[in-house]
Structure 1
Amino acid sequence: MDKQINILKNEPLSKYSFTRTGGPADFIAFPKSVDEVRSLVKQAKNDDLPITVLGNASNLIIKDGGINGLVIMLTDMNSISCDNHEIVADAGASYIDVTIEAQRNSLSGLEFAAGIPGSVGGAIYMNAGAYGGETDKIVKSVVVLTNDAQIKSLSNQELHFGYRHSLIQENDYIVLQATFELQSGDSNDIQLEMDHFNSLRASKQPLDLPSCGSVFKRPVGNFAGKLIHDSGLQGYQSGGAQVSTKHAGFIVNVDHANATDYLDVIHHVQAVVETNYNIHLETEVRIIGRDK
């Protein structure tokens, strides 16, 4: 591995994940530029190492066995700039920081994301959304690194966005940068809407405890949280992981949970809801890594 880039061996990923769970990465690197990402990818491929890319590791469960090969964590690539009605943000930039930059420049369209804790790359990867807004509505283009280490720009249409889905999930592409196209607005009105959404989050979501965010996708014609609540599962606990008593769609770390605890709760919730309602809850959270 390149000695010029910050690379750690056997690093516990629980230090970086929002759930505070996850085993070690064989190698984890923190590139600061596109060239460093490209160099890491080429070297990993030469060494026949699998590659996993992470941003803020928010809507994610990393298994207790950790991750094989090289983990590329993009949090040091976090530049955000504004030009007229467009905001350009690196993949590792906080989505929340992008919303703050938009408000500072009196640009509207990103208010829904005011409290989404993920990175820009993660938001593109899963078409993150909340309160009626979705990332695909404001993305103009995305710069990616392809699986043959080429830099390519993809338009909104080429990204094939869907509900919690994008083309990135189907390819070995690495998101490097995104351009958001917004509209002029009043900075005070934008701030009021952001405050409103953050207030809703604080009142309904268990923000005081480690979690992986919303665990399940919304079933057609229903809501995961309601199905879980109506199944009497709030407060259900396995090990240190618990179905939140504040919001049934969240699983929180209440007592030094590990990833296996999280997965046990997920599988139990899925089984009970399927028995009660004949509905399979599909996970929204990304589950990666090796079993211990």
Structure 2
Amino acid sequence: MEKSKLHELFKDKSFGEILFDEPMKNHTSFKIGGPADIMIIPNREDDITKSIKFCRENNIRYFVMGNGTNLLVKDTGIRGVVIKISNGFDNIEIQGDKVICQSGALLSKVAKKALKNSLTGFEFASGIPGTIGGAITMNAGAYGGEMKDIVVKVRVLDKNNRVVEFSNEEMDFRYRGSKVVDQGLVVLGAEFKLKNGDFSQIKERMEDLTERRVSKQPLELPSGGSTFKRPEGHFAGKLIEDAGLRGVRFGDAQVSEKHCGFIVNRGEATFEQVLTLIRTIQKIVYDKFNVILEPEIKIIGDD
């Protein structure tokens, strides 16, 4: 659909905040990406369900994102609609040992709320820079924990515009995947079951994990997090380092000197520079070790 017609269609809609020609670099941790024709930032569940239903009924392409922490967007941007579920749709409730969150809630905020209520089990996710929706979608994990370990049920919008709930078992959680990916679902919220614990021990565990992340990961520079999935029997960062690629760069896109599993933006990196670096890493690692590195970051956008 032509951009002018798209803008006209959304001019008077009330799906939350609506932005036109919004630069995606302002919404991704990589700080890379051209404009989205339309960006919707919903405040209520109704905003999400109605906007997606409207897009489906009018055959408008749409993409649902969270905090943009694992996205690499083309410099030409995204045609159609981007629905950003983050601030504004981020309520967190504690009910005994259960935590009930809207999908836009940041993992770090959920972890802090769990700590405040002396609930343990969420510490592993305290430093993951994403939202509940993104974490559920990809079964996010770190330091021995994964979403599947603590999820009770997930509330989603399905392909038929119905709001339904799935249990943990029904979610088909696996390494960096779930039923959300398989069926094109949209996460609206989730319920977690934690355990009562000792405040000081939970706090100490979170501080320890934070220190490990800060000391080992290039958090001081924009990136999309871990660039590649962990290949079976290997670690992506170690393979990249052993291939002699530490610090290699194309323009402002660079293999982090602090952790080779990350590609960082040294300033004004472009999509093409990052993509060239990704492909170069994949080819050299495959040539040297016969291991295929699969991107963990999601590459989106239109030419």
Q: Which whole-Å deviations, capped at 9, do the CAs of 1:115-135 have from their partners, x for residues lacking one?
A: 100010000011111111111
Aligned length: 291
Alpha-carbon distance in structure 1 between the residues aligned to 2:270 and 2:72: 10
**SS of structure 2 residue aligned to 1:178:** strand
2:166 corresponds to which of 154, 177, 194? 154
1:20 corresponds to which of 19, 31, 52? 31
**SS of structure 2 residue aligned to 1:229:** helix
The answer on 1:192 being equivalent to 2:204 is yes
Contact 1:239 1:255 in 2 (8 A): no
Alpha-carbon distance in structure 2 between the residues aligned to 1:114 and 1:142: 20
2:252 corresponds to which of 225, 236, 240? 240
**Which runs of at least 4 in structure 1 moved beyond 3 Å after TM superposition?**
none
Alpha-carbon distance in structure 2 between the residues aligned to 1:197 and 1:99: 12
TM-score, normalised to structure 1, is: 0.98
Q: Please, which moves more after superposition, 245-254 or 34-43? A: 34-43
Any residues of structure 2 matched to 1:104-115 within 5 Å, and which? 104-115=116-127
The answer on 1:29 being equivalent to 2:40 is yes
The answer on 1:284 being equivalent to 2:296 is yes
Task: Find the counterpart in structure 1 of residue 67 from structure 2.
Answer: 56
Task: Find the counterpart in structure 2 of residue 66 from structure 1.
Answer: 77
Identity of aligned pairs, percent?
44
Alpha-carbon distance in structure 1 between the residues aligned to 2:75 and 2:120: 41
Any residues of structure 2 matched to 1:89-128 within 5 Å, and which? 89-128=101-140
**SS of structure 1 residue aligned to 2:302:** coil
Alpha-carbon distance in structure 2 between the residues aligned to 1:238 and 1:38: 41
Q: Which whole-Å deviations, capped at 9, do the CAs of 1:178-209 have from their partners, x for residues lacking one?
A: 11111111011001000000000010000100
Alpha-carbon distance in structure 2 between the residues aligned to 1:200 and 1:288: 31
1:175 corresponds to which of 179, 183, 187? 187
Q: Which amino acid aligns with 1:239?
A: G
Task: Find the counterpart in structure 1 of residue 284 from structure 2.
Answer: 272
Contact 1:141 1:178 in 2 (8 A): yes
Alpha-carbon distance in structure 1 between the residues aligned to 2:191 and 2:277: 37
Alpha-carbon distance in structure 2 between the residues aligned to 1:50 and 1:209: 32
Which blocks of at least 5 consecutive residues in structure 1 are unaligned? none
**SS of structure 2 residue aligned to 1:25:** strand
Alpha-carbon distance in structure 1 between the residues aligned to 2:21 and 2:160: 27
Which blocks of at least 5 consecutive residues in structure 2 are unaligned? 1-9
1:153 CA displacement = 0.3
